[in-house]
Amino acid sequence: MFDRRLVSNFDWVLLLTVLLLAGIGVANLYSATASWNPSATPLYLKQLLWLSGGVTIALIVCLFDYRHLEFFAVHFYWVSVGLLVYVLVLGKTSMGATRWINLGFFNLQPGEVIKIGMILLLARIFAKTANPFGFGLLELWKPALWLLLPVILILKEPDLGTAMMVIFIAASMLLFAGLKRGTIIGLTLIGALLSLVGWFGLHDYQRARIRTFMNPEADPLGSGYHIIQSKIAIGSGGFFGKGFIQGTQSQLSFLPERHTDFAFSVFAEEWGFTGSFVLLMLYLFLIVWGLYVARRAADRFGLFLAVGVTAMIFWHIVVNLGMVIGLLPVVGVPLPLFSYGGTSMVTTMIGVGLLMNVSMRRFMF
């Protein structure tokens, strides 16, 4: 029998916040591509289509009790890993990377799918293996293996940004589950060692991005061009911005990738500090609300599910904004609900659906 509490507890605050952010993103995408040749379907209309599909999927996710997903977590994980293997063998190559599966009407990026898979799997693991004193280093070998497999496959594509996101999501959930002090020190040392070793495993363009991050002015017309133009766009917006579709850096095509990685740079130039502050406050509210949903979850699986989704959104925001203002290397991480991208939008909306699912069933046992 249908429980009326599901309707009365529907999280309208979360949904409206997400729709507001996505709506601003579509308007920004319209502005960013206003000077483009309109021979093909405008990107902002495609983004509206992905948003509509994402909202529909999010609402469908709400219909099923999230607690049933605990049983399917391992299955979903292996399907996601299977897609990563498939993309390496038969995937679509673009700009030197093999990250997409061509489905005809849609290019699926398995690296986005595995984020949801890792969240479900780790939520299941941590829900069943609570440790009031925190986890020791030897207790983490199984979760480490679950994490290591998709990260290696993603790095083979290569896609350093997505691999970083998967690691950050897992690390956030692990910290929330609790770690002993010695474990934190040990993981920090291991991470530092792997970073040094991993430097030699990076592709030349990835190492160039990190060098550019340290000194973008060393190659202003080459590898440093993106960051320099992004800083110019953001800084030229001033306090109130230049106005909608009035940004010179974007409209005159000085700013590259302005519809994806550097979408925030377009917004900051047109709306200035004031508009950027409002946008960041909306994102902050979304993150705080996600943690609020986690705090009110009815069980541990729901708690870790909400923490994982919130961490996914949080790290995408932090890394993307860090990229566009020059505080982090450019690693191709989109801004959630803002950057153009079908798989990214749908993945984010699936996460939002899981959050709403947990929130709706907070009183059900």
User: pLDDT per residue over 110-155, tens digit each?
Assistant: 899 999 999 999 999 999 887 777 788 778 888 889 999 999 999 8
For residue 232, is it within any domain? Answer: yes
pLDDT of residue 98: 76
Q: Which domain holds residue 73?
A: 5-360
Number of domains in the chain: 1
For residue 261, pLDDT beyond 50:
yes
Mean pLDDT throughout 72-85? 94
Please, which pLDDT band fits residue 1 given cuts at 50, 70 and 90? very low
- What residues contact 113, with CB distance under 8 A and at least 6 apart? 80, 83, 343, 347
pLDDT of residue 14: 95
> How much of the chain exceeds pLDDT 90, in percent?
47
- Which of 219-223, 311-315, 354-358 is the least confident region? 219-223
pTM to 2 decimal places: 0.90
For residue 275, is it within any domain? Answer: yes
Let me know how many helices (H) and strands (E) the chain has, helices first: 14, 3
- What residues contact 329, with CB distance under 8 A and at least 6 apart? 209, 210, 212, 213, 323
Mean pLDDT throughout 192-197? 76
What dihedral do alpha carbons 210, 215, 218, 222 form, nearest 10°? 40
Please, which pLDDT band fits residue 221 given cuts at 50, 70 and 90? low
Cα separation, 43 vs 52, whole angstroms: 14
pLDDT of residue 252: 76
Mean pLDDT, the chain, as a whole number? Answer: 86
End-to-end CA distance of the chain: 15
Name the residue with higher pLDDT: 7 or 333.
Answer: 333
Which whole-number Å values give the CA distances from 329 to 94, 158, 182, 320, in the listed order? Answer: 21, 16, 30, 10
Cα separation, 151 vs 260, whole angstroms: 23
Cα separation, 226 vs 212, whole angstroms: 10
pLDDT of residue 41: 75
User: How many other C-beta atoms lie within 10 A of the C-beta of residue 285?
Assistant: 16
pLDDT of residue 26: 94
Q: Which helix H or strand E contains 100, and what residues bound it?
A: strand 97-102
- Which of 275-289, 298-312, 327-341 is the least confident region? 327-341
Cα separation, 49 vs 51, whole angstroms: 5
For residue 365, is it within any domain? Answer: no
